[in-house]
Structure formats: structure tokens, C-alpha cells
Amino acid sequence: VRYYRLGHLDLAGLVRETSFEIFMQWDSYCCLLEYDLYVQEGAARGIAYTLGKLVVADLAGLNLARALKTVRVASRQSKAFPGGEHPFPELTRCVFVTNMPWVADHLWQLSKRLMPARDVARVRIFGQNKTAQKRFINELEKYVDLSHVPSLFGGKSDEPWQYGTGGDVPVDAIFPKDVVSPQTPGKRMAAMGARISQSISHEWNEITHQVAEISLTMHEVSSHAVHTVQHVSRELSNISPRFSHRRKQSMNANDVAARYPSQGSARHSESREPMGRGSTLTSCQSPKEGGMRKEFHGIEEKCR
């Protein structure tokens, strides 16, 4: 549910103090923001976007002069739209207009001629008397619990109204009287553009400073990473020769073992023949094989 205190809205004063172009941009911004909020809400529910929003417009405090000026601004806005119709998606299910004064009812009869028929069918009018207000509360309660309705709209919510109270926009609201105030619309636009440009320039400088700090931090991180990689590379270079040397020694030991396999168990079991009177070979079958075995043991000790 969206609540508006349209009776206190001075749309013409807003256009007077800014410009019609700025008003159109502000209206587009509000529509985009509202549409984005609905899309996010719909995404959370697993749908495209939420439809069926209820709008409650309170016209209490409306006066004839302000109402006529608002109608003229709305008429000019409608002519600026493609095909005379608001270009943003329709997200409203129905509109409750409460505290409708007699003058506003006459203006409504004029204004609805500028609106599409389907939009007019969504609007429900409730007057200012007690009977009309009771009907309004009964209809509103079908959509939302009264404990969530602001007290300004006849509800029972304790939450204070956190938004503007509205009213006539004072002359020179943007440019106070104690400063030089441009009086023509062109000068107003130029002065406002200068203020906006100054604000944007300040924000841009802040962003540039932050980007420079991030760039410096990234450069430091990159330099540290390069230093770390170089250190690891040097360590690997030192380890590689030692590893290759040990591997070569291991391979040489394996080659020696393959060339001189142990055959002592088979030959020790054989019968030994006497080499001479009172002498025999006790370690191997022949002097040649004994020398080979000693050579093998010597190489094996070196490998160890």
C-alpha cells in the first residue's frame, strides 16, 4: 500500500522553483525507483514483479488555487508522454481517494477526461463526511490490517509519519532571499546546473582518489607476489641439483646390484674341492668370484 497526502501537494510550486524539465526527470526517477523496488519484491517471491498495489490518496487540506495549478501541470505532463500516456509499467490495482472535497470532485470530472478509461475505472472516491469515511475504512481493511495503516489515514498504527507535511512551496525556496536569487527561469536553471556540477565534481574527485588508492594497493600486492614467485623459483633451483645428484647415486647403486647379483647361497651349498694340501676356499667358489664380491661391497658402502 502506498500513501499520498495529495491535498498538501504543491506541484506547480515545485515546477516554479525548479523547471518543468527537472520535474519530469524527478518523476521518471521516482517511477524507476518504484519499479525497481517492485521487481526486487517480485524476485523474492519468484515472480516477474508484484502487481496489484493499492494507492491511498488523502485530499484533506486541498484548496482551489493549488488544485487548478496542479491540474495544469498534470495536463502538460500528459502531453509530454508518448501517446499522451505514462510510459512506465502499470503497477497499481486500485486507487482510494479519501476526504474528497466538492471542488476536487468537480476537478476530477474534468481530469478523468485526460486519463485512459481503464485508469478511471480503478479510482474509488470517498467524501469527507462520517459515512464516507466509514466506507473508506471498511474498504481499506479488506486489503491491509488497520494496525499497519498510518493514523493520518484513519488507521491504528503507532509509527509516526516520517515524510514531509507538504504545503505551498515558498518563493525562492531553493535560493534564499539573503543571497542573490536569479529571477528568470533560464538563470535559475544555470545557477542550479552550476550547483549540481560542483556537487558532481566533488563526488568525482572522491571517487578518483579512492580508485588511486586501490590502484596503489594492487601494485603493492602485485610486487609482493612477483617477489614471492622469484624466491620460490630460487629455492627450487637450489633443490634441483641436490635431488638430481641423489637420484644419480641411487641409479648407480641399482646398476651395480643388477650387474653383480648375490649367488652365495647357491654356491655355498656346493661341495668344495681341495685347492692344495690343507687349504680350501671358504668365502666363494673361486678367487675371481671372491674379488668381484669384494668390489661390489666396496661400491655399495660408497653408495650408502
Domain of 163, in residue numbers: 2-173
Determine, yes or no, domain membership for 273. no
Tell the burial category of 277 from Cβ atoms under 10 Å away from its Cβ (0-12, 13-18, 19+). Answer: exposed
Determine, yes or no, domain membership for 133. yes
Q: Rounded to the nearest 10 degrees, how much is the dihedral formed by the CA atoms of 278, 284, 287, 290?
A: -140
Q: State residue 291's pLDDT score.
A: 55
**7 contacts 58 by C-beta, under 8 angstroms:** yes
Determine, yes or no, domain membership for 281. no
| Nearest in space to 132 (alpha carbons), one of 99, 96, 95 | 99
Q: State residue 50's pLDDT score.
A: 63
Determine, yes or no, domain membership for 290. no
**284 contacts 290 by C-beta, under 8 angstroms:** yes
Q: pLDDT 10s per residue in the chain (304 long)? A: 888 888 888 889 889 888 888 888 888 888 888 888 888 888 888 776 666 688 899 988 888 888 888 888 888 888 888 777 777 767 788 899 999 888 778 878 887 887 788 888 889 999 888 899 999 999 999 888 999 999 888 888 988 888 877 888 888 776 555 444 445 555 666 666 666 667 677 777 777 777 777 777 777 777 777 777 777 777 777 766 655 555 555 555 555 555 555 544 444 444 444 444 444 444 444 554 555 555 555 555 655 5
**42 contacts 50 by C-beta, under 8 angstroms:** yes
The two beta strands, 92-98 and 2-4, are: unpaired
Distance CA 126, CA 117 (A): 19
Distance CA 246, CA 267 (A): 34
What burial letters (b/e) apply to 285-295, b meaning 16+ CB within 10 Å? beeebeeebee
Sign of CA pseudo-dihedral 198, 200, 201, 206: positive
Domains contained in the chain, number:
1
| Nearest in space to 70 (alpha carbons), one of 161, 158, 169, 147 | 169
Q: State residue 138's pLDDT score.
A: 92
H or E element at residue 56? strand 53-58
**125 contacts 108 by C-beta, under 8 angstroms:** yes
Determine, yes or no, domain membership for 36. yes
Please spell the DSSP secondary structure of 209-220, one letter per residue: HHHHHHHHHHHH
CATH number, domain containing residue 158: 3.40.525.10
Determine, yes or no, domain membership for 164. yes
Determine, yes or no, domain membership for 25. yes
Q: State residue 56's pLDDT score.
A: 93
Other Cβ atoms closer than 10 A to 240? 10
